[in-house]
A = this chain, B = another copy of it.
């Protein structure tokens, strides 16, 4: 094999594909990237058996061939090469020469045929949306997946398509994050649970441009993201996702309008007093025109008052401050609305159009200590 391509093209491909390389594996071949110039295009590929990424590197094939290279070393070498044309040539015994200007590296590769192939995906069921929208949907829900493997479904996100409506849901037992968006076209009904790890890597690769499109294809067991020269294939998580709609009540006793930034900054300051591992609720004391936020910990106490607009009853309710922070950070609006029932019932933060719905369960607190 002998190929020539620019350092920039190659580095870009390496950075994309790196995201599917196994870091912990007993199969050394999975620590590799596959450089495939066996047909008429140069393809770079990685596959950790859960997630596979393939991208095309623009360049010239001088001699066809296929070789697997240690991903970490290959990536580091490409990163440090001068900004010029790179020649990659495989010699006998899988020795690879990488030459760029006057620099010449020799490293040993592995037989390309040993590398696990990506599964075949039938491209029938699909949706199309902008990279910007997909990136937003992921980033604004991904924080509330669970990292506990004991319930696989909680480690993924629901993607539910119904005609032109796309709903993305994540939940971890303490909170639910929902984002709704409208697609340009109408599609068949689809309901799949995508691994959080896959979505997190996809969101890093997406450009986030409104003009760039991404096609998402679905099969029974797999999802395929296709954009520009890259495809990302991932297994889906099996099982029936939670019936989220049953958990969302539209009744409320208290409705609060508050400046998002003020509330976020205040909670952010309050968490200073909470040491890592310590569980201390932030207590919201909502009265007419004012929300008092209080925290008490072994380090000290803090309180702050924020002006609000309130409808309905007064209420005092405690939350894990991290959960409030995560949700508030995911909202772009300056003014937000909180819907509350009582100190034992979840708080819902949502906009009128329900583009976003964040549900957070409250925590118990000692009302006497909080005063």
- Is the CB–CB distance between B77 and A304 below 8 Å? no
Instruction: Check A49 for interface membership: any CB of B closer than 8 A.
Output: no
- Is the CB–CB distance between A80 and B305 below 8 Å? no
- Is the CB–CB distance between A300 and B269 below 8 Å? no
Instruction: Check A76 for interface membership: any CB of B closer than 8 A.
Output: yes
A/B interface sample: 17 pairs, CB < 8 A: A70-B299, A73-B272, A73-B273, A73-B299, A77-B269, A80-B265, A80-B268, A80-B269, A81-B269, A102-B304, A102-B305, A103-B303, A104-B302, A105-B273, A106-B300, A106-B301, A108-B300
Assess A272 versus B80: contact at CB under 8 Å? Given A73-B300, A299-B73: yes
Instruction: Check A121 for interface membership: any CB of B closer than 8 A.
Output: no
- Is the CB–CB distance between A266 and B103 below 8 Å? yes
Instruction: Check A210 for interface membership: any CB of B closer than 8 A.
Output: no
With both beta carbons as reference points, the residue of chain B lying nearest to A107 in the complex is identified as B300
Chain A interface residues toward B at CB < 8 A: 70, 73, 76-77, 80-82, 102-108, 265-266, 268-269, 272-273, 299-306
Question: What is the CB-to-nearest-CB distance from A288 to chain B, in angstroms, rounded to a whole number?
Answer: 17
12 additional A-B pairs beyond A102-B306, A105-B300, beta carbons within 8 Å, are A70-B299, A73-B272, A73-B299, A76-B272, A80-B265, A103-B269, A103-B303, A103-B304, A105-B269, A105-B273, A106-B301, A107-B300
Set of chain B residues within 8 Å of A302, measured between Cβ atoms: 103-106
Give bound CA distance, A265 to B102, whole Å.
12
Question: What is the CB-to-nearest-CB distance from A274 to chain B, in angstroms, rounded to a whole number?
Answer: 11
Set of chain B residues within 8 Å of A306, measured between Cβ atoms: 102
The residue in A77, A80, A105, A273 that gathers the most chain B C-beta atoms within 10 A of its C-beta is: A105
Question: What is the CB-to-nearest-CB distance from A331 to chain B, in angstroms, rounded to a whole number?
Answer: 20
Set of chain B residues within 8 Å of A269, measured between Cβ atoms: 77, 80-81, 103, 105
Question: What is the CB-to-nearest-CB distance from A97 to chain B, in angstroms, rounded to a whole number?
Answer: 10
Give bound CA distance, A306 to B101, whole Å.
11
Question: What is the CB-to-nearest-CB distance from A52 to chain B, in angstroms, rounded to a whole number?
Answer: 26
Give bound CA distance, A301 to B95, whole Å.
11
| The 4 nearest A-B residue pairs measured at CB | A107-B300, A103-B304, A80-B269, A106-B301
Give bound CA distance, A81 to B103, whole Å.
52
Give bound CA distance, A252 to B273, whole Å.
63
Question: What is the CB-to-nearest-CB distance from A300 to chain B, in angstroms, rounded to a whole number?
Answer: 3
Give bound CA distance, A77 to B106, whole Å.
53
With both beta carbons as reference points, the residue of chain B lying nearest to A79 in the complex is identified as B272
The listed residue (B107, B272, B305) touching A299 by CB distance below 8 A is B107
Give bound CA distance, A288 to B293, whole Å.
75
- Is the CB–CB distance between A82 and B299 below 8 Å? no
